[in-house]
């Protein structure tokens, strides 16, 4: 006998979890599509050189790699960005630009499994490639907004910034050559203490006056007009810094025109994003009720997606939904359903002699768009109803031989345990309409 177990850092998804994840993937797909983003897919395995070409020491270490049957060095994708860069280098000429794609797929990282991190998880990315248009930036923010709203999150905030603003401030402080270090330190604000960040900045050789200005920038508050005015003064005469402030203003105006509620999108000068390749806007999104969860949807603009694989410059902008983090957050907030079935109606199997009649009833309900589970064994009714209640069915339909003879049925609301009698006189249309209206009025 082989012990049934999963690898460390890997997990099964049981129906309740799988249903919750499918729902969010479905919403993401619908929202991405509603803006014209088209799906693509790439292989789980790639040539190792494709994956390591851009890798840091850390991703290299985390990579699942091996030699395949044909002696090729291969690896399992650790994100969707590197495969997308390779994909664009190969196909962008035939696809044309601007190219808008989404990609929802599994990635693998052999990383430390502490703090609820898994070695297998899904990413849901969308990007617009081959245009520097600020409208694509704005649309990225709108997609993130519509996505979080469509998922049903009532309180969230999208925090945006622009790398050019950060660059402008750094330039005006004479810190352009230490940009990466300084931004990494600033990015820790909110996670580390203010003093720790201050000490780190001083450690990077930033003079006290500049540290104050940096912290002042990161902590600008008040109305959006105040924040933008503060940034404008801090970037001083840096041309790209001023362009960044103007871009942030344009996004705030744009989301307002598109009907986004006030306060959902804010400029946060402390947002820097870790990755080096962002060059324009950057964004992060937070659940207001669980800010410590970290950003659940992040992204930004970059100058060159695929420089390792093609000479063609491919600027782009996009973001990625962290679906596993989001699900963990929704669970922590008690907002995940425990329902284990995708079906609405549980049809009790009462009497084997009426099998053909049950099949007719189930088919008619399905044809009307209702999902129906017909219990496959004519066990005791109470036992079947217990199963239905445990799995979270909203309703059960009980029809025995007496009911079939009389043309009636019991509709049982499994939440309230209340039953109502449906008189359908043997007419399936009447039964279907009655069940549908009972489902709605539940």
Nearest approach, Cβ of residue 202 and its own copies (Å):
37
Residue with Cβ nearer its own copies (80 or 234): 80
Residue with Cβ nearer its own copies (393 or 411): 393
Please, which residues have CB within 8 angstroms of residue 48's CB and are 6 or more apart in sequence?
Answer: 63, 65, 73, 74, 75
Q: Which 321-340 positions form the footprint of its own copies (CB under 8 A)?
A: 340
User: Using CB under 8 A, which of 72, 117, 216, 429 touches its own copies?
Assistant: 72
Residue with Cβ nearer its own copies (254 or 329): 254
Structure tokens belonging to residue 213: 């200005």
Q: Which 257-296 positions form the footprint of its own copies (CB under 8 A)?
A: 257-259
* Bridge partners, 212 (sequence order): none
The CA–CA distances, whole Å, from 17 to 190, 298, 335, 343, 346 equal 31, 23, 12, 15, 21
State the Cα–Cα distance between residues 158 and 320, nearest whole angstrom: 13
Nearest approach, Cβ of residue 106 and its own copies (Å):
6
CA angle, 301 as apex, 297 and 304 as ends, to 5°? 125
Q: Which 344-373 positions form the footprint of its own copies (CB under 8 A)?
A: 346, 349, 355-357, 359-360, 362-363, 366, 370-373
Residue with Cβ nearer its own copies (127 or 187): 127
Q: Which 400-439 positions form the footprint of its own copies (CB under 8 A)?
A: none
Question: What is the sign, positive or negative, of the torsion defined by CA atoms of 325, 331, 334, 337?
Answer: positive
Residue with Cβ nearer its own copies (222 or 376): 376
Which position has the token pair 């005015």? 229
Which position has the token pair 């009497």? 351
Residue with Cβ nearer its own copies (4 or 222): 4
Structure tokens belonging to residue 30: 């619908």
Structure tokens belonging to residue 393: 């069915």
CA angle, 335 as apex, 325 and 297 as ends, to 5°? 30
The HSE-up count of residue 179 (CA atoms within 13 Å, CB side) is 20
User: Using CB under 8 A, which of 192, 333, 387, 389 touches its own copies?
Assistant: 387
Q: Which 77-106 positions form the footprint of its own copies (CB under 8 A)?
A: 86-87, 89-91, 94-96, 98, 100-101, 106
Nearest approach, Cβ of residue 390 and its own copies (Å):
7
Site mask, its own copies, residues 2-41, x = CB under 8 A? xxxxxxx-xxxxxx--xx-xx------x---xxxxxxxxx
Residue with Cβ nearer its own copies (122 or 189): 122
Q: Give all strands of the β-sheet with 73-76 in edge-to-edge order.
A: 45-47, 73-76, 65-67
Q: Confirm or reject binding of residue 128 to its own copies (CB under 8 A).
A: yes
User: Using CB under 8 A, which of 120, 289, 303, 332 touches its own copies?
Assistant: 120
The count of chain residues that interact with its own copies, using the rule CB under 8 A, is: 105
Residue with Cβ nearer its own copies (172 or 341): 341
Burial (CB count <10 Å: 0-12, 13-18, 19+), residue 310? middle
Nearest approach, Cβ of residue 114 and its own copies (Å):
14
Residue with Cβ nearer its own copies (246 or 308): 308
User: Using CB under 8 A, which of 136, 148, 211, 227 touches its own copies?
Assistant: 136
State the Cα–Cα distance between residues 181 and 206, nearest whole angstrom: 10
Q: Which 193-232 positions form the footprint of its own copies (CB under 8 A)?
A: none
Please, which residues have CB within 8 angstroms of residue 398's CB and are 6 or more apart in sequence?
Answer: 348, 350, 381, 385, 409, 410, 412, 419
Nearest approach, Cβ of residue 366 and its own copies (Å):
5
Which position has the token pair 């808008």? 100
């Amino acid at each position: 006998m082989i012990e049934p177990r999963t690898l460390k850092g890997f997990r099964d998804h049981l129906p309740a979890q799988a249903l919750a994840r499918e729902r969010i993937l479905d919403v993401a797909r619908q929202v991405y599509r509603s803006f014209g983003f088209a799906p693509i897919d790439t292989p789980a395995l790639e040539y190792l050189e494709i994956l390591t070409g851009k890798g840091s020491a850390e991703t290299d270490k985390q990579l699942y790699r091996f030699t395949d049957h044909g002696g090729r060095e291969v690896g399992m994708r650790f994100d969707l960005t590197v495969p997308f860069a390779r994909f664009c280098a190969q196909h962008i000429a035939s696809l044309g630009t601007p190219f808008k794609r989404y990609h929802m797929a599994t990635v693998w990282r052999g990383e430390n499994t502490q703090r609820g991190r898994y070695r297998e998880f899904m990413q849901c990315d969308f990007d617009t490639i081959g245009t520097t248009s600020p409208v694509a930036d704005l649309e990225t923010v709108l997609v993130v907004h519509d996505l979080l709203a469509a998922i049903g999150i009532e309180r969230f905030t999208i925090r945006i910034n622009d790398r050019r603003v950060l660059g402008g401030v750094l330039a005006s402080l004479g810190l352009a050559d230490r940009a990466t270090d300084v931004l990494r330190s600033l990015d820790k604000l909110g996670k580390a203490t203010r003093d720790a960040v201050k000490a780190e900045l001083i450690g990077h050789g930033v003079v006290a006056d500049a540290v104050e200005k940096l912290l002042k920038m990161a902590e600008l508050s008040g109305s959006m007009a105040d924040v933008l005015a503060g940034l404008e003064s801090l970037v001083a005469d840096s041309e790209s810094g001023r362009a960044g402030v103007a871009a942030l203003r344009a996004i705030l105006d744009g989301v307002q025109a598109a009907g986004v509620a006030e306060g959902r999108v804010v400029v946060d000068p402390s947002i820097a994003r870790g990755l080096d390749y962002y060059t324009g806007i950057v964004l992060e999104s937070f659940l207001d009720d669980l800010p410590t969860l970290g950003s659940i949807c992040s992204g930004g603009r970059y100058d060159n997606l695929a420089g390792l694989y093609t000479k063609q410059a491919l600027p782009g902008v996009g973001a990625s939904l962290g679906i596993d983090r989001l699900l963990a957050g929704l669970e922590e907030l008690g907002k995940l359903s425990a329902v284990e079935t995708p079906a609405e109606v549980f049809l009790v199997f009462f009497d084997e002699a009426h099998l053909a009649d049950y099949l007719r009833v189930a088919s008619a309900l399905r044809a009307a768009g209702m999902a129906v589970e017909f219990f496959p064994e004519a066990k005791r009714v109470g036992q079947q109803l217990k199963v239905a209640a445990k799995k979270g069915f909203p309703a059960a339909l009980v029809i025995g031989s007496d009911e079939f003879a009389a043309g009636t049925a019991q509709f049982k609301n499994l939440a309230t345990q209340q039953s109502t009698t449906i008189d359908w006189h043997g007419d399936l249309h009447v039964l279907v309409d009655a069940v549908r209206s009972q489902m709605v009025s539940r």
